[in-house]
Structure 1
Amino acid sequence: MTEETTAVRRGRPPQTQEQAEEVRARIIEATAAVFARNGSRGLSVAQIIEQAGLARPTFYRYFGNAAEPLRALLDASNEDLVGGIGAALTGTDEPVQLGIRLIDAYVDWARGHGPMLRPLFAELHDPGSPVSAYRERALDDIRALVRKAFEGLGRPAPAPLDLDAALQVCEYVVYRLTAGSEPGSDPDPALATEARVTMIRVLLVTLGTRDDLAYAMELPGLFPDP
């Protein structure tokens, strides 16, 4: 038997649960490749099955249309981002370290998307794209995590506008940091350092206290000398 018929008999149900999971993962992987090339508006069942090397009946055993495997991709993306942010917010009450952890969590999330990162960022603010709806869900989850972290530290919850400003800047900084890198590669070290400093400043000003700022003013290189 060929590799194709070993993985799945074209047009026939897989013989085991493991095979079924492999086929589903194969369809989602093919969807990611098509999305990376064409964005959500260029996504079609025909292109997905061509990319995956599967028959159309096989696709429809797992998904009803091209939007469904894209939703599976976006669900996984949100879980990775929210999970990374949640981990970044635990284990420290030091605002500078928090800034480093947040930007690194965002960068790790971005790096994991490979070639599909650019169309993903391109559609974040497009109300006609399903990506924008997932972005709003992720932001809601991250807002809740930040408020919970502040509560655990005995601090007042940040003002909604301040929190949104911090998150929007973090998203933009990560975009700038990763846009010039090869998909899936590490960003330029000098630019990564600059991004961390920028994010720390933003978090201190939007979410920090006077004591946080006073502490940060004593750290070399964080703020320019007058």
Structure 2
Amino acid sequence: MEPASGQKKRRGRPAGKTADTRERIIDAAREVYGEHGTYGTTVALILKQAQVSRPTFYKYFSSAVDVIDEVVRQCNQEVEQLFVRIFEQPQKEFYDYLPMALSGYLNWGRSQGLLMEARFRELHDRSSPVSRYRDEHNRRIASTLHGSMVRHGRTPPDDLALTSLVQGIEHLGYQFCMQAEHTEMPRYIEVMGRLCIAMLGNRHDWQEMMASPFFSRLLGLEENESEIGS
């Protein structure tokens, strides 16, 4: 149908097209980066995965490294927001957050597929955005833990203990996603939970965990009560 007299036909992309195209490029880069890592990811591979032209790609990103940087930032934000959402929920006791936080993190990591393996490979490579943003990323997670403990009237441990805990959980999460079957999640939560109590808690907390049927099962403490309480 011809436009009405005196009206010009509008040209250009439909509303929302720009954002959709940018996100499609980022989603494609996640797939390519997960399979090939930083050094194997090229613009050509991203173009093929995203089904966009080279000029379109360069409207949004200057290079493959530029879009990988955005992928890593978004992944970090997803994890941080996951913990923020969990620790913002009202709970009677601070340790009531543990099952949700640990299982939530492991499920998120499992959903990332090969991307988690690529992140783990580049964890200590300072030329990779994974490594460059790691300390800042982990500090924000530690800050979320710190704030939640304060709100529950607990005294948070020092920065060394918080940092060690976050890095330990990070490593176990990568190991679960790369090496374990999904059915092994309870064992990983058990180990991660014990690490949390050890770094954040005290003798009284261990006693509380052993006195709770739920937490004693979750942390595998039932068979070790005499050893831990001695």
Q: TM-score normalized by structure 1? A: 0.82
Shift of 1:57: 1.0
Q: Percent identity?
A: 26
- Which residue of structure 2 lines up, in the alignment, with residue 211 of structure 1? 204
Q: How does 1:95-110 map to 2 (within 5 A)?
A: 96-110=95-109
Report Cα offsets for 1:42-68 as digits up to 9, x if no partner.
122222223223221111111121122
1:110 and 1:174 in contact (8 A); partners too: yes
Greater RCO, CA 8 A, separation 6+: 1
Report Cα offsets for 1:150-204 as digits up to 9, x if no partner.
11112122111211221122112212221136xxxxx523x11111111111111
CA distance in 2, matches of 1:173, 1:135: 16
- Which residue of structure 2 lines up, in the alignment, with residue 81 of structure 1? 79
2:102 and 2:192 in contact (8 A); partners too: yes
SS at match of 1:155: coil
Q: How does 1:1-226 map to 2 (within 5 A)?
A: 15-90=13-88, 91-94=90-93, 96-180=95-179, 187-189=181-183, 191-219=184-212, 220-221=216-217, 222-223=220-221, 224-225=223-224, 226=227
CA distance in 1, matches of 2:148, 2:96: 14
CA distance in 2, matches of 1:96, 1:198: 15
Report Cα offsets for 1:114-164 as digits up to 9, x if no partner.
222211121122222111122222111111111111111121221112112
CA distance in 2, matches of 1:107, 1:129: 23
Report Cα offsets for 1:23-79 as digits up to 9, x if no partner.
212211221122122101112222222322322111111112112222221222111
1:100 and 1:196 in contact (8 A); partners too: yes
Change beyond 3 A, Cα 1:40–1:93:
farther
* Number of residue equivalences: 208
SS at match of 1:54: coil
| Structure 2 residues not aligned, in runs of 5+ | 1-10
CA RMSD of aligned residues (A): 2.1
SS at match of 1:157: coil
Change beyond 3 A, Cα 1:14–1:197:
farther
Greater Rg over alpha carbons, structure: 2
Q: TM-score normalized by structure 2? A: 0.81
